[in-house]
Amino acid sequence: MKSSFPIFLAVFVALGASFGGFVVGGISQLGTEKQTTVLNSTDTYPLQRTGDATLGLQVYRAQGCAACHTTQVRQDGMTCDVVLMGAGKNLRAVQKVLGEIAPADKDLATNQLPKTIFSGVTKEVAGDNSDKLTGAGAKAEIHINATGADISRGWGIRQSVAEDFLWDYPVQLGSLRAGPDLANVGARYTMNLQLQHLYAPQSVDKNSAMPPFKYLFVVRKKINGELSPDALSLPKGIVPDDSEVIPTDDAKNLAAYLVSLRADVPLYDAPFTPTVSAPAEKK
Amino acid sequence: MNHDLSNSKSQTSTHLTVPIWIIALMLTLIFLGGVYFDHHSGWFDAKVYGPYQSAGQLAAYQPLSGEAAIVAHGKQVYEINCGTCHGPDGMGMPGKAPPLAGSEWVNAKGFHRLVEIPQLGLNGTITVKGQPMNFPTGMAAVGSAMSDADLAAILTYIRASWGNNADAVTADDVKAVRASVGGHHAIDGDVELKTIPE
C-alpha cells in the first residue's frame, strides 16, 4: 500500500491536533489553578468541602442531578456605581462638582452619605466622575456589579470561574436547565429546607417540576409520639401526624453538598463589590 | 460544471486549480478569525473570562479601595518614572541606580528624606545597605513635577514592596515637605542627607 504513510500522517495530525487543542491546551490553561484569596481580604478561597459534602458530590452525581441542573452562573457584562462616601473638608467644592456632573444631587448634605451618585455606568464614566469628586476633596468609591440574565434571576452575584470547582471531582457543570442553576444554592436554602425540598419539592415551591427523592429518606412511626433528633421538621400534611421522616446518610451528604455550593465572594477573575462592605467601611 | 469537473478529473488531476475566489475567501476568513481571536480570547489567560476581553480590562475592573488602590497606582507611576533606573523589581541597576529593596533610606521611620530625594535630586556618595556607592550621573529631581498624590503613591508603593515594610506616605505629607524645601539644590550624598531630619 503505497499511500499508507500519508494516511498515517493524516490520522496522526488529526488526532494530535485535537489532543493538543482539547487536552494539552486545556491543562496548560487551567491545570495549575489553585486556591486564591478573596478580593480585598486575606481569606482563602475556595476552602476544601467538608467530608459529608465531598461524599454528597458523589450522591449528586449518582442521582443524576446534573441532568436537569447546572452549577455555572453566566455573566453578560459589568456596570459601575459611583458612591460618595464622605465630603472631605470642603462640602461647597464637592457640591459645586456635583452641580456639574449630577445636578440632582447638588444640595447634598453630609448626613445623606454614603450616597450613590451614578449607577449602571461604564468604568470610564465612573472613573472620570469619581476623579472629579476626589479632586474636590471628597471620598468617592467605584462599586462594580456583575450583570446578566442569570444574575437577575437571583442565581448568583457573579459568574462561575474555575476556582469554584477546585475541589470537585468530577465537576458537575451540567448543561441543561430543567431546574434552576445551583452554583449558589447554599446561599438560598438552609440545611433543613434542602432536605425538605429533596423529600417533597412541591412543599417548598408548588410549581416545581422536580421529582421527589423519597427513597433517600425513611418514613417511620414516631416513637412515643415524639420526633427523633434527626427527623425533618416538615409542614403539616406531608406525612401522617404519627409518622416522621428520617434522612438516610445519602440524603444528609447530598444536602451538605448543596449547602456547600456557594459562589458569592469576589475573586480577581470575577470581581464585584459586595454590598455588605459599604456600611462596614463607613465607621 | 459538475460534468466538466468529473471529466477533467478522469483525464488528469494536475489540471485542476483552486479558483482564486476560494483562496481569497479562506484568507478573509482566517483574517476575520484572527481579529475575533484578538478581541475575545484574552490570550488564553486563565483569569480572563468573558465578558472581560483582556487581562488589562480585568485589572481595570478590580474594586480596589484604600491603601490597595494607592499601591496599585503607585506601581504604575513607579514603573514609568523610577523603574527605568531602579528596576521594576527595586533591585537597582549596576552603574545606574542603587537598590530600593531593603534600602535603609526607603524603610526609614520618617518620610522627610524620602520625599526630598525625588523632589530635589541626589548626587555624591550614597551608602545603601551598608555599602558606599557612587554614580557619575546621580539622580535628577525626577519627582519635582509630579502631583503630591502621584509621588505619595510611588513612595507608599516602594515602602510596601519587595520585602520593604514601612508606613504609607500621604499626599499631605508630600505637600508639607515640598512646602518646606522650596528651591533647594540637589542633595549632596550621605553627608547632606543625614543633616535632614528623618
Give one DSSP letter per residue of chain B, joined into a string.
-HHHHHHHHHH-GGG----HHHHHHHHHHHHHHHHHHHHHSGGG-TT--TT--SHHHHHHT----HHHHHHHHHHHHHHHHTHHHH-TTS--BTTTB---TT-TTTT-SSSHHHHHHHHH-EES-EEETTEEE--TT-B--TTTTS-HHHHHHHHHHHHSSTT-------HHHHHHHHHHHTT---EEHHHHHTTS--
Query: Which one-letter amino acid corresponds to residue A123?
Result: K
A95 & A188 share domain:
no
* pLDDT category of residue A109 using cuts at 50, 70 and 90: confident
Q: Which of A147, A169, A192 is the last residue of a domain?
A: A147
For residues A10 and A89, the model is more confident at A10
Contact B63, A143 (CB under 8 A): yes
Task: State pTM to two decimals.
Answer: 0.64
By Cβ distance, the residue of B44, B47, B65 closest to A269 is B47
A-chain residue closest to B55, CA distance: A269
Question: What part of A 15-44 touches B (C-beta under 8 Å)?
Answer: 25, 29-30, 32-33, 39-40
Shortest Cα–Cα distance, B62 to chain A (Å): 6
pLDDT, tens digit, for every residue of B96-139? 899 999 898 999 888 888 898 898 888 888 888 888 888 888 89
Give the minimum alpha-carbon distance from A24 to chain B in angstroms, rounded to a whole number: 13
pLDDT of residue B94: 85
Q: Is residue A180 part of a domain?
A: yes
Q: Kindly state whether residues A187 and A212 are assigned to the same domain.
A: yes
A212-241 residues touching B, CB cutoff 8 A: none
Which residues of A fall within a CB distance of 8 Å from B41?
A: none
Residue B4: the pLDDT is 53
Domain B64-193, second-level architecture: Orthogonal Bundle (1.10)
Contact B49 A40 (CB under 8 A): no
- What was the pLDDT predicted at A281? 34
Q: In chain B, positions 44-73, which contact chain A (CB-CB < 8 Å)?
A: 44, 46-52, 58, 60-65, 68
* Residue-level pLDDT at A244: 93
Contact flag A40-B44 (C-beta cutoff 8 Å): no
A210-217 average pLDDT score:
96
A201 and A131 co-located in one domain: no
Nearest to A123 among B46, B51, B61 (CB): B61
Q: Is there a domain that residue A265 lies in?
A: no
Closest of A277, A283, A278 to residue A84, by C-alpha: A278
What is the 3 state secondary structure string of A120-151? EECHHHHHHHHHHHHHCCCEEEEEEEEECHHH
**Gap from A35 CA to chain B (nearest CA, Å):** 13
Q: How do the domains of chain B map onto residue ranges? A: 14-62, 64-193
B35 pLDDT above the threshold of 50: yes
The residue ranking higher by pLDDT, A23 or B173, is A23
Nearest CA in chain B to A30: B46
What is the pLDDT of chain B when averaged over all its residues? 83
- A29 and B44 within 8 Å at the Cβ level: the answer is yes
- Given a cut of 60, whether residue B8 has pLDDT beyond it is no
Verify that A112 and A189 share a domain, yes or no.
Answer: no
User: Which chain B residue lies closest to A161 (C-alpha atoms)?
Assistant: B49
* Cα distances (Å, whole numbers) of residue B36 to A30, B29, B30, B41, B48: 22, 10, 10, 8, 16
Q: Which cell goes with B3?
A: 460534468
Place of cell 436554602: A189
Model pLDDT, residue B1: 45
Q: What is the mean pLDDT of residues A240-258?
A: 95
Position of cell 416513637?
A: A223
Interface of B with A in 164-193 (CB under 8 A): none
- Whether residues A101 and A225 fall in one domain: no
CB–CB contact B65 A40 (8 Å): yes
**Left, alpha or beta for B102 (phi > 0: left; psi -120 to 50: alpha)?**
left
Task: Give yes or no for residue B9 having a pLDDT over 60.
Answer: no
CA atoms of B197 and B57, how far apart (whole Å): 43
Contacts of A150 in chain B (CB under 8 A): none
| Residue A101 and residue A81 share a domain | yes
**Residues of B with Cβ-Cβ distance to A276 under 8 angstroms:** none
Residues A68 and A81 occupy one common structural domain = no
Average pLDDT over residues B158-178: 86
Cβ <8 Å between B49 and A159: yes
Residues of chain A contacting residue B65, judged by C-beta atoms under 8 Å apart: 40, 141, 281
Q: Where is pLDDT greater, at A215 or A37?
A: A215
Q: Which of B78, B96, B80, B40 is nearest to B160 (CA)?
A: B78
- Comparing A259 with B76, which gets the higher pLDDT? A259
Is B61 in Cβ contact with A271 (below 8 Å)? yes
Query: Do A244 and A176 have their domain in common?
Result: yes
- The CA distance from B75 to B133, in Å, is 26
Tell me if A22 is assigned to some domain. no
Residues in A closer than 8 angstroms to B53, CB to CB, are none
CA distance B55 to B46: 10
Domain boundary among A147, A176, A207: A147
Question: Whole-angstrom Cα distance, residue B193 to residue B114?
Answer: 10
What domain range is A134 assigned to?
77-147
CB A275 within 8 Å of CB A43: no
Query: What's the whole-number average pLDDT of chain A?
Result: 89
Lowest-pLDDT range of A131-140, A198-207, A234-243: A131-140
Give the strand pairing for B187-188 and B122-123.
Answer: parallel
Residue in A103, A100, A97 with CA at minimum distance from that of residue A140: A97
Which among A146, A92, A95, A141 has a CA at the least distance from the CA of A118? A141
Residue A164 sits in the same domain as residue A253: yes
Candidate from B46, B50, B58 with C-beta closest to A30:
B46
The answer, for A205 touching chain B at a CB cutoff of 8 Å, is no
Rounded mean pLDDT of A77-92? Answer: 85
Please report, for the domain that includes residue A112, its CATH number: 3.30.1390.10
Per the CB < 8 A criterion, the answer to whether B112 and B177 are in contact is yes
Note whether residue A233 is domain-resident.
yes
| ipTM, two decimals | 0.79
Is residue A9 situated within a structural domain?
A: no
Identify the top-confidence range among A36-40, A181-185, B140-144. Answer: A181-185
Residues above pLDDT 90, as percent of chain B: 14
In a domain, A42, yes or no: yes
- For the cut 60, the answer to whether the pLDDT of residue A279 exceeds it is no
Q: How confident is the model at residue B190, as a pLDDT?
A: 80
| Nearest-angstrom CA–CA distance, B134 and B125 | 5
| End residue of a domain, out of A147, A173, A191 | A147
Mean pLDDT of A121-148: 84
Q: Do A167 and A244 share a domain, yes or no?
A: yes
**Residue B76 pLDDT > 50, yes or no?**
yes
Task: Calculate the dihedral angle through the C-alpha atoms of A93, A98, A103, A108, rounding to the nearest 10 degrees.
Answer: -80
- Upper half-sphere CA count for residue B46 (Cβ side, 13 Å): 13
Average pLDDT score over residue span A106-120: 84
pLDDT at residue number B13: 59
A54 and A140 share one domain: no
Interval A225-230 mean pLDDT:
89
Of chain A, the percentage scoring pLDDT greater than 70 comes to 97
Of A75, A76, A273, the CB nearest to B63: A273
Shared domain check, A121 and A241: no
User: What's the structural domain count of chain A?
Assistant: 2
The Cα of A117 is separated from the nearest Cα of chain B by a number of Å equal to 17
- Identify the residue with better confidence: A50 or B42: A50
List the one residue out of A198, A79, A91, A195 whose CA is nearest residue A142.
A79
Q: What is the pLDDT of residue A179?
A: 93
